[in-house]
Amino acid sequence: MPFDRLADLRLFQDASQLGSFSAAGRKHGLSPAAASACIQRMEAALNARLFQRTTRRLRLTEAGETYLAYCRQALELLEEGEHRLQQAQQELSGVIRLSAPSDLGRNRLLDCLDRFGAEHPAVHFSLSLSDTPADLIGDDIDLAIRYGQPADSSLVARQLAASRRVVCAAPSLLEKLGQPSHPQDLAGLPTLTLTTGHGPMNEWRYRDKGEIRSLRLERVRQSNDGEVLRRWAVQGHGFAYKSRLDIADDLAAGRLTTVLDDYFIEPAPLHLLYPGHRLQPARIRRLIDFLLDQFAA
């Protein structure tokens, strides 16, 4: 049944209870003529007379009595469904499906989800960690965390944190090989690169004298897991190109240091993404606000 007929059903039910088209019409903000026209439209669609009309009274026909019984059941079920949906929107329960980069997911997001879960024990998580961007629609993902500017304009992007990409290495590696003075020096040095479904990311872009240039790397270790690259970098296996946010703890602890900061200045803001056309349940809206607060702290 089209949703534009729900008002007619409610009008029919009220007219049968009040015994008057005029009274039922007033309840729904309709004139007597408009209320009568609604009932006539229903009768024409059903090919049945629902009311016996006289100058003094309005009475249901046998067909009207039969239809009223089903009408009441339908409206009660619809009202119950609306109530259940409203309740579900307010209660924090159910599953939230998330996708995030592997290193950020393990080193930052897990703690956030643990804190949120402790406050809302009826909320459960399905977490996918991958450095290959997820298809939010195709993979049925509620929320995704990604670096950079989203290419899909159908997604809502909320910035969690500002960041940029940096080249980093362990102090032990720098002591052994020396500090590179120009990005081209990295071409002959051991480097650590991420590989995705689109292939290895072994071309690093940098700015030199106002121009964007690229550096193709040959001596590389590759992994599809950003956390593996971070660990290799800490262990001194090569230079890595990472978001500064991912290695903030390592920089603070002295396990890694950045190099060539004047050349590698690519911004890498961290965004929280979700489909723009969906009505978000309360649990997802609350988690969005929670993550925005956590990353702003």
pLDDT of residue 123: 94
Judge whether residue 277 has pLDDT over 80.
Answer: no
pLDDT of residue 91: 67
If pLDDT is split at 50, 70 and 90, which confidence band does 125 have?
very high
If pLDDT is split at 50, 70 and 90, which confidence band does 292 have?
very high
If pLDDT is split at 50, 70 and 90, which confidence band does 87 have?
low
Which of the residue ranges 82-91, 111-120, 188-197 would you say has the lowest mean pLDDT? 82-91
If pLDDT is split at 50, 70 and 90, which confidence band does 263 have?
very high
pLDDT of residue 83: 73
Homologous superfamily of the 89-152+272-294 domain (CATH): Periplasmic binding protein-like II (3.40.190.10)
3-state SS of the chain: helix, strand, coil percent to 5? Answer: 45, 25, 30
| Top-confidence residue, 199 or 182 | 182
**Average pLDDT of the chain to the nearest whole number:** 88
Q: What is the DSSP letter of 134?
A: P
Judge whether residue 266 has pLDDT over 70.
Answer: yes
Longest dimension (CA), the chain: 104
If pLDDT is split at 50, 70 and 90, which confidence band does 3 have?
very low
Tokens of 54: 């006289």
If pLDDT is split at 50, 70 and 90, which confidence band does 174 have?
very high
202-236 residue pLDDT tens:
889 999 988 999 888 887 899 999 999 999 999 99
pLDDT of residue 18: 87
The runs of H, that is alpha helices, within the chain are 6-18, 21-27, 32-46, 62-90, 102-104, 110-119, 171-177, 226-234, 248-253, 282-296
Tokens of 245: 């946010």
198 three-class SS: coil
45-81 residue pLDDT tens:
889 999 998 777 788 999 989 999 999 898 888 888 8
Which of the residue ranges 24-28, 51-55, 184-188, 247-251 would you say has the lowest mean pLDDT? 51-55
Hey, do 3-72 and 163-257 end up sharing a CATH topology, with the first three levels equal? no
Domain boundaries, the chain: 3-72, 89-152+272-294, 163-257
C-alpha dihedral over 181, 182, 186, 188, to 10 degrees?
A: -90
pLDDT of residue 20: 87
Task: Quote the pTM value.
Answer: 0.65
pLDDT of residue 7: 85
Architecture of the domain whose range is 163-257:
3-Layer(aba) Sandwich (3.40)
* Class for the domain spanning 3-72: mainly alpha
- Say which residues have a Cβ less than 8 Å from residue 205's Cβ, sequence separation at least 6: 212, 213, 214, 215, 266
Tokens of 89: 């929107």
Q: What is the DSSP letter of 181?
A: S
